[in-house]
Amino acid sequence: MSAPKKLHVKTYGCQMNVYDSERMAEAMGAQGYVTTDRPEDADLILLNTCHIREKAAEKVYSELGRLKGLKAKNPDLKIGVAGCVAQAEGAEIVARQPAVDLVVGPQSYHRLPDLVARAAPGAPALDTEFPDEDKFEHLPKARTPAARPTAFLTVQEGCDKFCAFCVVPYTRGAEVSRPVARLLDETRALVDRGVVEVTLLGQNVNGYHGEGTDGRSWSLADLIHTLADIEGLERIRYTTSHPNDMTDDLIAAHGAQPKLMPYLHLPVQAGSDRVLKAMNRKHSAESYIEIIDRLRAVRPDLALSGDFIVGFPGETDADFEETLTLVERVRYAQAYSFKYSARPGTPAAERPGVAAEVAAERLARLQALLSAQQTEAQEAMVGREVSVLFEKAGRLPGQMIGKSEHLMAVHVPAPDEIKGRIARVRITEAAPHSLAGNLV
C-alpha cells in the first residue's frame, strides 16, 4: 500500500473558518488524506482565507507566493484557496497566482474532493456557487475522539444585516439556519467523543431561526435550552451576535440556563448615533446600553466583549469621543478594535475616508482604554473561586491550562488527567491575558 496523501490546512480569520477547516479535513480524510502541520510534506495545501479587512485578504497572496516554491520539490502538490477571499476574488486569484490549482467558496466545501480530483496543471478547478443543498449534510461525520474538550458548531451562516462596511453578506451569503435535529445529532456525537463545551457559531448567531423538532421555527434560546438537556454537555457559548437580535427569550436564558456561560460577544462598532446610522447598524448607542443593562440585571457577573471600528468615513473627533464614553459605560472584559478598512463592493467604500494618522491615533486611544478595562476585569478575579474547564498542558511541567466560565485562560498546577474535566480553582494571580490559581 502506498503512503497516505497528506493535507495541510492553514486557517485565517474567524472561528467559523476553524470549524470549516475541520470539516474540509474530514472530507479529505474520507478520501484517504491525513493531516500534517508541515506544508513542505503536503500533497494538498488549503488556505482557508478571510476577506474582512484588506490586510487579511492580502495575506493570502503573500502566502501563495511563499508556497509556490514547494511545487518545484513536489510536482504533484496541489494548492487550494478556500474561504471568503476565494468567494470574493476567485477568478482574480487564479489569474494572479498560477500556482493555485483550485478555488472553493465557503458554501461548496462538500464538493472539495471532486474539485481536487478535477484540478489539473494549467486548468484550475473553481467553485464559488451558493448551491441549494446543505453542505453540512454532504460532509462526512467526524469519528475520531476529539483532541480538545471544546468544539465549535456552526448553527447559522450568512448575514442579512448589510452593515455599510462589511463584506460578510456578500461572501457568506444570506442567513441560513441549520435544523435543530441535525444540531442535536452533531452535538451528541461531539459529546460522545469527549466534548464538554460547544460554542455555537454564526455570523449573526442570535438571528438563528432553524426548524425545531416540532416543525416550527425555533429561536437561539430554544436551541440552547434543548442542547442543554444533553447529558455530558456542560457548557454552551455562542458567537457572534447583533444587538437587534438580542430577543427577550435570549436575554432571559442568560439568567435561567446554568449551562449558558456568563460571557457575551456583542459588537457595537461605534458609540455615536450619527456613525451608527452611517454604518447602517439600525441600533443606537442607547439601545445597545439598554440591552447590556437588561442582561446584567439577569446575570450580574456577565463578561462582555465587543468589536469596534475607528475611522469610519465621516467619523469626527466628537463622534469618536462618544465611542470612548460608551466603552466607559459598558466596561468590557475583552474586546477587538480595528481601523476601518474600505472593502470593494461595500457601500462605505465609496465614501471619503478619515486620514490614516487620525484613525491610527484613535485606535491607540481606544485600545489603551479597552486594555485597561481588560486588566481590571482580570484583576477582579484574584481571590475568587472559579470553575475551569481544563483543555491542555501548560508550558511549565505539571501545569494545565483551562478556561473559566468568563472565558479567561487559567494556569493551574494539576495532573494531566484533569484534561476535559471541570474543577474549582482559587485565583491567586492575574496577568493581562491569563490568570493563575490552585485547585480547591
Per the annotation, where are the binding residues?
14, 50, 84, 159, 163, 166
Are the CB atoms for 218 and 212 separated by under 8 Å?
A: yes
Strands 399-404 and 409-413: antiparallel
| Residue 52 interacting entry, from ligand SF4, ligand 5AD, none, C-beta within 5 to 8 Å by type | ligand 5AD
| Residue 242 interacting entry, from ligand SF4, ligand 5AD, none, C-beta within 5 to 8 Å by type | ligand SF4
To the nearest whole angstrom, how small is the minimum distance from the Cβ of residue 334 to ligand SF4? 18
Judged by CB, which is closer to ligand 5AD: 358, or 439?
358
**Amino acid identity of 85?**
V
Does position 272 interact with ligand 5AD (CB under 6 A)? The reply is no
Residues of this chain that interact with ligand SF4 (CB under 6 A) are 159, 161-163, 166, 168-169, 203-204, 242
Applying CB under 6 A, among 267, 271, 313, 394 the residue interacting with ligand 5AD is 267
Grid coordinates representing 6? Answer: 497528506
Sheet containing strand 150-154, strands side by side: 150-154, 197-201, 235-239
Residue 68 — φ and ψ, nearest 5°?
A: -60, -25
Question: Site mask, ligand 5AD, residues 396-425, x = CB under 6 A?
Answer: ------------------------------
Grid coordinates representing 84? Answer: 471568503
Using the structure block, give the residue that is written with the C-alpha cell 468615513. Answer: 313
Q: How many CB atoms lie within 10 A of CB 314?
A: 16
Task: Identify which of 53, 54, 52, 32 has the alpha carbon closest to the alpha carbon of residue 43.
Answer: 32
Judged by CB, which is closer to ligand SF4: 161, or 339?
161
Grid coordinates representing 417? Answer: 488527567
- Tell me which residues in 342-381 interact with ligand 5AD (CB under 6 A): 343
Does position 269 interact with ligand 5AD (CB under 6 A)? The reply is yes
Does position 288 interact with ligand 5AD (CB under 6 A)? The reply is no
Question: Site mask, ligand 5AD, residues 121-160, x = CB under 6 A?
Answer: ----------------------------------------
Collapsing DSSP to helix, strand or coil, 62 comes out as helix
Bridge partners for 425 per DSSP:
386, 439
Question: Site mask, ligand 5AD, residues 304-343, x = CB under 6 A?
Answer: ---x-x----------------------------x-xx-x
Are the CB atoms for 221 and 252 separated by under 8 Å?
A: yes
Distance CA 46, CA 96 (A): 17
Judged by CB, which is closer to ligand SF4: 61, or 170?
170
Judged by CB, which is closer to ligand SF4: 267, or 402?
267
- Tell me which residues in 164-193 interact with ligand 5AD (CB under 6 A): 165-166
Collapsing DSSP to helix, strand or coil, 25 comes out as helix
Residue 157: CB partners within 8 Å, gap ≥ 6? 16, 106, 172, 173, 175, 176, 202, 203
Contacts with ligand 5AD, residue ranges (CB under 6 A): 52-53, 165-166, 267, 269, 307, 309, 338, 340-341, 343
